[in-house]
Copies of this chain bind each other. A is one copy, B any other.
Amino acid sequence: MPEVKTSAARKTRIQTQNEELILDAALEVFSAYGFRGATVDQIAAKCGLSKPNLLYYFRRKHDIYTAVLKRTLASWLEPLWALDANGEPIEELSRYVSAKLRLSRERPEASRLFANEILHGAPAIGKFLKGPLKRLVDDKAAVIQGWIGAGRLAAIDPHHLIFAIWATTQHYADFDVQVRAVLGNHDDYMAAAEQALLSLLVNGLKPRPKE
C-alpha cells in the first residue's frame, strides 16, 4: 500500500517515477475526455503501464483525477498571487494578462482540465473554490479597489475585472478548436490575441477624468 505507509510516506524511486508518469498521462487523458469520458485503460496505455499496475499506485480512478487537479492548482494560481499592490496598476494587470495567456499557450491541457471540472459543477474542487480561491481573489480585488480609490485606475468592479481576465485568457486554451476554426488555423494567433487584449485592457482601465 504505497499511499498509506506504516509511518512516514517515504517513497521508492520507482514509486515517485511511476506516479509522475501516471499523472502526466492522466492530465492529457482527463483534459481531453473529461472524468467520465476518460478510461483507466487509456491512461495506462499512454504511460506504458498495465491497468492493474496503475491501480496499484492509485486505488481508484477518482484518486488519479483529484491528484492531477491538486498537482496543477498551484501553478495555475501563481500569476494572480504575483499581482503586486506596490506596482504600477496597469503594468501589473498587463503582466497578469500576459502570464495567463502564456499558460494558455504552454499548458492548455491544464486549463481544459479545470474548465471541464467547473463546467460540470466542480464536484472535486468545490471547497477549494469557496475557500482558498475566494480568499485569494478577495485579497487581490481589494488591491485593485485600492488603486481605483487612489485614482490610478478607471472605476470597475474588481471581481468582475478578474473574471474578465480569466475568461479572455483561458478562452484561448479551452476554446482553441473554435478559435482555430474561425481564424482559419493560423498557427500563431497568440501574438495578435495578446496585443488585442492588452490594448483593450490598457485603454479600458486608464483612469479618465469625469466629464
Q: A-side interface residues toward B, CB under 8 Å? A: 32-37, 112, 115-116, 118-122, 126, 129-130, 133-134, 137-138, 154-157, 159-161, 163-164, 166-168, 170-172, 174-175, 177-179, 181-184, 192-193, 195-197, 199-201, 203-206, 208
Contact = CB atoms under 8 A, between A and B. Distances in A.
A115 B111 CA distance: 13
Contact of A203 (B168, B195, B203): B203
B203 A133 contact: no
B200 A156 contact: yes
A84 to B, nearest CB: 21
Nearest to A122: B177
Given A120-B32, A177-B118, A177-B129, A199 B37 contact: no
B204 A201 contact: yes
B175 A118 contact: yes
Contacts of A121: 32, 177
A122 B199 contact: no
A199 B200 CA distance: 11
Highest count of chain B CB atoms <10 Å: which of A157, A166, A181: A181
Contacts of A208: 203
A119 B30 CA distance: 12
8 contacts: A36-B36, A118-B177, A122-B181, A133-B182, A134-B184, A157-B193, A167-B167, A200-B204
B122 A182 contact: no
B36 A193 contact: no
Nearest to A131: B181
Given A157-B192, A160-B197, 12 more contacts: A34-B37, A35-B37, A115-B115, A115-B119, A116-B119, A122-B181, A133-B181, A154-B203, A160-B193, A164-B196, A167-B170, A203-B206
B196 A161 contact: yes
A119 B157 contact: no
A43 to B, nearest CB: 15
